[in-house]
Amino acid sequence: MFLSSDDAKAIADKVLAYSRADACTVQIEGGLDQSLRFARGGATTNLASAEASLRVSSHIGGRIGSCSISHFDDEALAAAVARSEEIARMLPVDPDYVAPLGPQNYGFSNRYDETTANLHLDALAGAAARVIEEGARIGVDTFGCATTARRFDAFATSAGLFAYERRSEIDLSATARNRADTWSGWAGAHQFFADRLDAEQIARVACFKGAHDATPVDLEPGVYTVVLEPEATTELAFWLMRAMEARAADEGRSFFTRPGGGGALIGEKLFDEKLTIRVDPADPLAPEAAVGFEGLPHRARDFIEKGIVTTLYRSRVWAQKTGVEAIPFPRNFVMSGGDVSIDDMVRSVRRGVLVTRFWYTNIVERKNLLLTGLTRDGNFLIENGRIVAPMRNMRFNQRLGDLFGNIKALGPTRRTWRAAGDGGAAAAPAMLVEGFNFSSKSSGI
Amino acid sequence: MAAAAPSPIKASCRTRSAFALDRALLHDLADIALTAALQSGASYADLRIGETRREYAFAKDGRLENFDERESQGFGLRVLLDGCWGFYGARRLDPHSLRDGVERALENARAVKPIQFQPIELERLPVHEAEWIMPMGVDPFEIPASEKADLLLSIIASARDHGADFCSASISAACEERFFANSLGSRIHQTRTRVAPSFQATAVDRASGRFTTRDCLTPARGAGWDYILSAGLIEEAARAGQEARAKLGAKPVAPDDYDVVIDPTNLWLTIHETIGHSTELDRVLGWEANFAGTSFVKPSMLNELRFGSELMTIVADRAQPGALATIGYDDDGATAKAAEFAIVEKGVFKNFQMALGQAHLIGLSHSNGCAYADSPTTFPIQRMPNISLMPNPQKCSFDDLISDVENGIYVVGAGSWSIDQQRDNFQFGGQLFYEIKNGKLGDLLRDGAYQGRTTQFWNSLSGLCDASAYHLDGTFTCGKAEPMQVAPVSHGSSPALFRNVRVLNTSD
């Protein structure tokens, strides 16, 4: 169920009017998600789903109780308010209680387009058909998913704040596997505007990458130079950004804790000077939402600038406790790029690996940001500046500090794929790094 | 321990209070939607209407950070029109919304027709009219918020009093009520409840900059509040505080190949990732190739693949009391009895997990009760029933198991995990690692993880405890599909011994 700003505000006002608490917040979200999947060149599953939820949080005597519902009729709203107040009264007083925000000055995040918002499943079937046709032309099996979403988020408080954002989304991702089932390629894109999604290009790249009949070569585990395509770079940067929490650093349980336990490493140069990661609601490639967690405004800011840690995200509670500005968790980010093409990166490598993307990455050790995962869907051996063969997938165990501390070259920043529906967006460049630790072989194709 | 002989679930006599949704309304809505779908040309249609209640309480150190109750209702209608699925889900439960849903579902089926080169085929489906209510002690939703908050703060205090510098704790509860109806006449009304306690104790050594954590080992279960109270969480938190502190001073694991004894608190996740996912037929068919992945297991390997040693028998079920995937009927309307099968028998691969519309693609006549939709508004897909390693039929205690381990490691609790998209190469961490020297448990170790290849690993299974050491673990949130759906599932096992397993040191 998609609500306009006026409709969302009318519901929020009703909830606030029902409230008998000291303070109250209302969060409403919903929209329409549509998707279809295809496999071996034909449709498998599809859905259209109209979603809606409303969460009311009642603040009573420094205690907060919350209740969420999926129906917005008057009776349900009143019952939700009453229940949240009932819960609040039963809870212990929060020693670090923070009252709801008042009016905020938000920027504008341009993530909505009527044309994209009004797409139907037939448009997605059309995009899928581009991939299926290209697969048939090249002689590979194709698999994929196309999704479109139209979503809104509204947040209101009894202190006078009302915020509303909407976004439209479309994504297409495609996997191509050779007919012997011994090799695969992948490509994908996510956009807020349908006219920026090039289904033909996704089809071409996925099928081109998947169309290798040569037996993939095995590489012995060890330390290698790697050329990471933007999707792979984004995956690694995502884990770095997720670790940039002020409280964990302040409490001595983070990669970003100063040695000896003396607080967070803000202002320290921890990474290569080529590394800059920023968040910006006005970014044209990967705009962050204007409204962050707890209603905090997202501002344009660097988290890492030329290798120096400049910002860690910080909840309102922790900000109050430490007397430092609250900064919302960044769900979107942009990693600055350079001007070296992937071809030029490959030409500079004597022996190494070109990685399309990673799979099942997970932090193994938070202190040293040791990340594990595997390569997937397009791994190629580089020898003497040339791609010489498809290469079987490998597991890696890699410390992110070492990886982002030793960047040899960056390509232009490009918007990367994330599944539609969660509002996430990221942009990153291809990256050439040395000393990447492949720890074992995988037969998984 | 119930995995040995799962009993068939019978539709029980319900009490009206067990269901929140109005029975007459459900039947009326089903009749409206399914009749309209058939009249519009659909050859088959099914409908899920449901209500899900959730509760989540989270505390960190001295404060309750979040207490949230959620209630959502909705429906999802799936139609088969000219060999094409069409699906529509929404939150409003009234005749107008259902009629609109029929139109939208049919539109979606028509929309995919141009890329439906192989029509969807369905097997013969039996018709069921039934109700099923999960047996439960105390309804967790009836427990006051104050009691839950007190428990969380007590867990945290216990961990901090015993060595932890920090501790966070949470309790999750969910109650799913589902009404399934299809155009063949099935009408099935079910409800089940699950709870998940969780905490993490952290110890910090500021001088060295090192910190360690020890997570809760008490598993999620299909159960009520009585399970939470009987789990000994405050006592476990005390041990966790001590163990997190002890890990700071523990010896680092020396990387090498070891004989590894794996506790059920860790082995459940290995079973889940290496066996549960690799034997899902939709993955094998490539339906998940773009995201969750495919599988190293192929249809030609049925009754042929030597998956593991003779000690390895893996069974599926939807009947184990307390297990998270236990239910009377799956989301295709198949009985729990259909989901009673061996996946691996004495080391040999025997069966795939299947949902509706898949079996004929590998020459079989019917699916086996493995469908689930994580919300009424999502498309039902193939998901795991409970999948468990049968205990050793021969008597074998834990002491017996480790008695002939000369130089080994005992792994307790699940840690960081990762596996490739065909479910071959895996790496799993743990909460606690102990030396085993000359048949005896030794010192606590730190910074361990084990790595392996699926069939090589399971063929190295050389010892297994009997049913007296059987333990059921599991998760609320197994992720799969696009858009991502999460499913609850349990896996049981007894402690097991694997030979020559590669163990890493994660701080190297």
User: Can the peptide bond before residue B95 be classed as cis, meaning omega within 30 degrees of 0?
Assistant: no
User: Can the peptide bond before residue B483 be classed as cis, meaning omega within 30 degrees of 0?
Assistant: yes
The token pair at B187 is 């009408």
**Contact (CB, 8 A) for A7 and A101:** no
Compute the average pLDDT of residues B351-355: 98
- Verify whether the Cβ–Cβ distance A261 to B207 is below 8 Å: yes
Q: What CA–CA distance (Å, rounded) separates B13 from B130? A: 9
Compute the average pLDDT of residues A105-130: 97
Q: What CA–CA distance (Å, rounded) separates B111 from B87? A: 11
Angle between helices A74-90 and B145-161 (to 10 degrees): 40
State the pLDDT at residue B13: 34
- Verify whether the Cβ–Cβ distance A397 to B427 is below 8 Å: yes
From the list B146, B209, B483, the residue facing A147 with the nearest CB is B483
State the pLDDT at residue B146: 97
Residue in A239, A257, A238, A237 with CA at minimum distance from that of residue A247: A257
Instruction: Write out pLDDT tens, residues B44-56.
Output: 999 999 999 999 9
Compute the average pLDDT of residues B7-15: 33
Taking the Cβ of residue B20 and every Cβ of chain A, the question of whether any pair is shorter than 8 Å is answered with no
Share of chain A above pLDDT 90, in %: 95
State the pLDDT at residue B329: 98
Q: Which residues from A are below 8 Å from B62, CB to CB? A: 95
Q: Which domains does chain A have, with CATH numbers?
A: 5-210 (3.30.2290.10), 216-445 (no CATH)
Residues 6+ apart with CB under 8 A from B381: A45, B282, B355, B371, B372, B373, B480, B481, B485
Q: Which residues from B are below 8 Å from A373, CB to CB? A: 418
Q: What CA–CA distance (Å, rounded) separates A401 from B177? A: 47
Q: What CA–CA distance (Å, rounded) separates B422 from B84? A: 28
Q: What CA–CA distance (Å, rounded) separates A428 from A235? A: 9
Q: How far is A240 from chain B (nearest CA, A)?
A: 16
State the pLDDT at residue B207: 87
Q: How far is B396 from chain A (nearest CA, A)?
A: 33
Instruction: Write out pLDDT tens, residues A57-66.
Output: 999 999 999 9
Asked if pLDDT for residue B6 goes beyond 60, the answer is no
- Verify whether the Cβ–Cβ distance B91 to A70 is below 8 Å: yes
Residue B363 burial (C-beta neighbours within 10 Å; 0-12, 13-18, 19+): exposed
- Verify whether the Cβ–Cβ distance B71 to A173 is below 8 Å: no
The token pair at B180 is 């399934």
Asked if pLDDT for residue B10 goes beyond 50, the answer is no
Which pTM was predicted? 0.96
Residue in B189, B197, B220 with CA at minimum distance from that of residue B58: B197
Instruction: Write out pLDDT tens, residues B364-387.
Output: 999 999 999 999 999 999 999 999
Asked if pLDDT for residue B2 goes beyond 60, the answer is no
Asked if pLDDT for residue B4 goes beyond 80, the answer is no
CB atoms within 10 A of CB A432: 24
Question: What one-letter code names the amino acid at A99?
Answer: A
Q: What is the ipTM of this complex?
A: 0.96
Q: What is the dihedral of CA A415, A417, A418, A423, to 10 degrees?
A: 40
Residue in A5, A28, A26, A31 with CA at minimum distance from that of residue A421: A31
The token pair at B503 is 């163990």
The full length of chain A comes to: 445
Task: Give the H or E element holding residue A82.
Answer: helix A74-90
Instruction: Write out pLDDT tens, residues A320-340.
Output: 999 999 999 999 999 999 999
Q: What CA–CA distance (Å, rounded) separates B338 from A86? A: 44
Cα-Cα-Cα-Cα dihedral sign, residues B403, B405, B409, B415: negative
Region of A314 (left: φ > 0; alpha: ψ -120 to 50; beta: rest) is: beta
State the pLDDT at residue B5: 32
From the list B108, B291, B507, the residue facing A48 with the nearest CB is B108
Where helices occur in A217-333 by DSSP H, the ranges are 230-242, 246-250, 316-322
Compute the average pLDDT of residues B203-231: 96
- Verify whether the Cβ–Cβ distance B207 to A260 is below 8 Å: yes
State the pLDDT at residue A444: 87
Q: How far is B467 from chain A (nearest CA, A)?
A: 32
State the pLDDT at residue A424: 79
A-B contacts (CB, under 8 Å): 272
Mean residue pLDDT of chain A comes to: 96
State the pLDDT at residue A420: 66
CB atoms within 10 A of CB A180: 9
Q: Which domains does chain B have, with CATH numbers?
A: 16-249 (3.30.2290.10), 252-505 (no CATH)
Asked if pLDDT for residue A96 goes beyond 80, the answer is yes
DSSP character at residue A391: B
